[in-house]
Structure 1
Amino acid sequence: MRQRKSEAVLESARTLFLAKGFDHTTVEEIAEAAHVSKATVYNNFPDKSAVLDALLDRVAVESSQILATVVAPLYGDGDLEDRLARTATALAHGVLRPEVLQLRRLAITESARAPQAVARYFERGPGSALRLLADALRDLHEQGLLDVPDNDRSAAQFAYAAVGPLQDRAILAGETPSAATIERYATGAARDFVAAHRPE
């Protein structure tokens, strides 16, 4: 019962924080949206900041559970450029989902208030994605398919080429890229990456 109420509080907090922001959301509103008493909220979380901490932790865990599917094409067969393009496309579609963008904005806004929670969010979300990509690139390097001796740096470069500009425009300018634009960036990132890291 307590776990169910805690989940309801977190779901309501997620909706309200994204719609109104952390500062403009009250514990009373969270309780009302979750159909629990204010006392129940405080029985599960010491204060509103603790709700934010738990929410970011939960989102980070959710992200880490699905990230492996993003790099799966790199462990498959077929044309390497196509596999990189499919990875870039999957990464972009995941990162550019409206709820993910909203949570990233929230994390940026609240990074000074909840630095440890936001750091955990990064490590389990964006940081985990980069590590998984770096591992896949190291594997391709060891197979002799790519020349990427610094796989961590190469993973960051590839991810930014595929997603970075689109994510920046989505967060800062509110522009949602079309599927065609995502595809263009993904295929371009893959083509340029293979050209830059083709073994001699």
Structure 2
Amino acid sequence: MNDATPIVRRGRKFDQVLDGARDVFMADGFEGASVDDIARAAGVSKATLYSYFPDKRLLFMEVANSECARQSQDAIDNIDMNAAPQEVLCQAGKHFLRFITSKFGQQVFRICVAESDRFPEIGRAFYKSGPERMRAEMGEYFEAAVSRGDLKIDDYTLAADQFGELCKADIWPRLMFGVIDSVTDEDIDRVVDSAVKTFLARYGA
């Protein structure tokens, strides 16, 4: 494999390939997804697939980036940012934790870490499409909440990072190190509810 990451080419069937790949990766994961299955699901030839994505890793990361952007937009569209902080934070935290603890979310993280030395641009692209976007959106929410008198925060970006880390407590490290195989909705509710209480104890107006 070359040291340089190949450039992803965009064209008429790009979205079609991406949609097919998303379905296969979601069902089979990165290792289990074959190029044949992806081409079949996308309704294109293997030659067409390779013309867009010469490396399966690149295709997976393109799907990951678009999925993270979609998840972020879905959260923005479905959370009432004018609601009370406890409600906004609970919804945002649970949406975030469900995604990063999903099979797909775990695979994205592990691939980014595994490839970070050889292909740092992959991790950077994922960070911009997911964590950085959430950080910015939460920062904007905190600024608006402070102006309404709902919260007392000086550093919006730091507060956004702190909230994200609180939501990962207990579950995330144990999942990443293989101590547990999966999490339940009850696990997520327990961690996020506690994260929100802790955060508001520090930043509540």
Same fold, TM exceeding 0.5?
A: yes
1-structure distance, mates of 2:87, 2:30: 38
Report the CA distance shift for 1:89/1:126 in structure 2 as closer, same or farther (over 3 A).
Answer: same
The whole-number CA distance in structure 2 between the counterparts of 1:51 and 1:86 is 30
Structure 2: give runs of 5+ residues left out of the alignment: 1-11
Residue 151 of structure 1: CA displacement? 0.9
Counterpart in the other structure of 2:124: 119
Distance 2:204 2:156 in 1: 14
The alignment status of 1:182 with 2:188, answered yes or no, reads yes
Measured at CA, do residues 54 and 81 of structure 1 come closer, stay the same or move farther in structure 2, by a change above 3 Å? closer
Q: Percent identity?
A: 18
Aligned partners of 1:162 and 1:189 also within 8 Å: yes
* Contact 1:162/1:186 (<8 A) preserved: yes
Match of 1:51 in 2: 59
Asked whether the 8 Å contact 2:18–2:63 carries over to 1, the reply is no
Q: Which residue is equivalent to 2:150? A: 145
Letter in 2 for 1:45: F
Contact 1:56 1:118 in 2 (8 A): no
- Equivalent residue in structure 2 for 1:132, among 126, 132, 137: 137
After superposition, the CA RMSD in angstroms is 3.0
Report the CA distance between 1:147 and its aligned residue: 1.0
Which letter maps to 2:31?
K
* Separation in structure 2 between the aligned mates of residue 146 and residue 169 of structure 1, nearest angstrom: 31
Measured in 2, the distance between the counterparts of 1:154 and 1:64 equals: 18
Structure 2 contact 100–106 (Cα < 8 Å) conserved? yes
Q: Structure 2 length normalisation: TM-score?
A: 0.74
| Offset of residue 136 of structure 1 | 0.8
Q: Which residue of 2 aligns with 1:156?
A: 161
Q: Using the alignment, how far apart are the partners of 1:66 and 1:144 within structure 2?
A: 26
Segments of structure 1 that go 5 or more residues without pairing to the other structure are none
2:106 alignment partner in structure 1 = 101
* Closer/same/farther in 2, CA of residues 49 and 94 from structure 1, 3 Å limit: closer
Report how many residues are paired.
Answer: 190
- Aligned residues of 2:61 and 2:126 also touching (Cα < 8 A): no
